[in-house]
Amino acid sequence: MKIGTFDLTSGRTFIIAELSANHGGRIDIALETIEAAREAGADAVKLQTYTADTLTLDCERGDFLIEGGTLWDGRRLYDLYEEASLPWEWHDALFTHARKIGIDIFSSPFDRSAVDFLEKFAPSAYKIASFEITDHALIRYAASKGRPMIISTGIATIGEIQEAVEICRSEGNDDIVLLKCTSAYPAPLEEANLRTIPNLAETFGVVAGFSDHTLGITAPVTAVAMGAKVIEKHFILDRSVGGPDAGFSLDKVEFAAMVEAVRETEKLLGRIDYTMTERKKRSRQFARSLYVAEDVEAGERITEKNVRSVRPGYGMHPRHLPEILGKRFRKDVKKGIPMGWDLIE
């Protein structure tokens, strides 16, 4: 499976810098953020394509006020989304700039009109946000375009995840990435439950990844060790930009440290390998082997006192010690000589 030119079977992790609301309402900041994401090592930058009106209602009723211990408690949904939304007229410049400097770019659509709009830019994928996983019409329409589908699972039951996957497949789209996600901002570490990542891949037959809202870089690095092939993390040029997502976003230095740690983790994971490499062969000189541990005379019996398993590894394999105990030396042997069959009668 590929997203753009990135092969998810290559052993490398696809790292997404989430722009989200971290643009401060200024296109120059958005453009600079894309450049900084590329310099920090991101493989892709992701936008969000919506308006306040495509997400919610301009309504004063209590249902439309944010509660529940979030960073945005007390605010109206409409006002938050109006502040956070990225103007649609910026998309052309952002897509063009990202492609010019060599970083992949795609977006999260939040309704059919956003999908139609984004199709003009031939995005490499569509990302379905956590809170849209129950919007079957949106998932079906996006999947019908034949582009890879990246779906966050933060608020979903296992049944709802299954429904989303089946909708994609019913549209002939089997290029599906499910992201483990905790829909809390920021997310507590103890709620990350990263063991779910390999289970997502196994249960649903998809590529699994991690959309991270925790603070710091420990969670995404651990996610890669657990098998995540895709990492998504909120990225901000500088926290002085402010905005709804600034508190749980990484700046350029932090994001670069995460990328470096992920790439090191990939090297550490390597592959299943029992082959005897040249390095292993060289190191075997320090392994244990059988050595004559004291001066002995011809005809003397071999005992655990005069033949011992010690370092280095130039003598007989220690597995042979029980076999040779009680046999006799063929000749006089000095202490420190590697034990060999030629020394035994």
Q: In CATH, what number is assigned to the domain containing residue 338? A: 3.90.1210.10
pLDDT of residue 66: 87
Q: Are residues 206 and 313 in the same domain?
A: no
Q: What is the DSSP string of 253-314?
A: HHHHHHHHHHHHHHHHH--------HHHHHHGGGS-EEEE-S-B-TTPBP-TTTEEEESSSS
Query: Is the four-CA dihedral 180, 202, 104, 42 of positive or negative sign?
Result: positive
Residue 10 in any domain: the answer is: yes
Q: Are residues 116 and 152 located together in one domain of the fold?
A: yes
**Domain stop point among 216, 241, 269:** 269
Task: Answer with the one of 218, 250, 269 that is the final residue of a domain.
Answer: 269
196 and 332 assigned to the same domain = no
Cα separation, 37 vs 41, whole angstroms: 6
Q: Does 238 lie in the same domain as 293?
A: no
Q: Assess whether 195 and 324 both reside in one domain.
A: no
Task: Please check whether residues 117 and 208 belong to one and the same domain.
Answer: yes
Residue 112: give the domain boundaries.
Answer: 2-50+85-269
Residues 211 and 289 in one domain: no
> pLDDT by residue (tens digit) across 225-269?
999 999 999 999 999 888 888 888 999 999 999 999 999 999 999
Per the domain annotation, does 57 fall within a domain?
A: no
CATH number reported for the structural domain that contains residue 223 in this entry? 3.20.20.70
Asked if 331 and 240 sit in the same domain, the reply is no
309 and 220 belong to one structural domain: no
pLDDT in tens, 129-179: 999 999 999 999 999 999 999 999 999 999 999 999 999 999 999 999 999
pLDDT in tens, 181-234: 998 888 999 999 999 999 999 999 999 999 999 999 999 999 999 999 999 999
Dig out the tokens for 136 from the structure. 């079957």
pTM confidence score:
0.88
- The predicted pLDDT at position 108 comes to 98
The domain tally of the chain equals 2
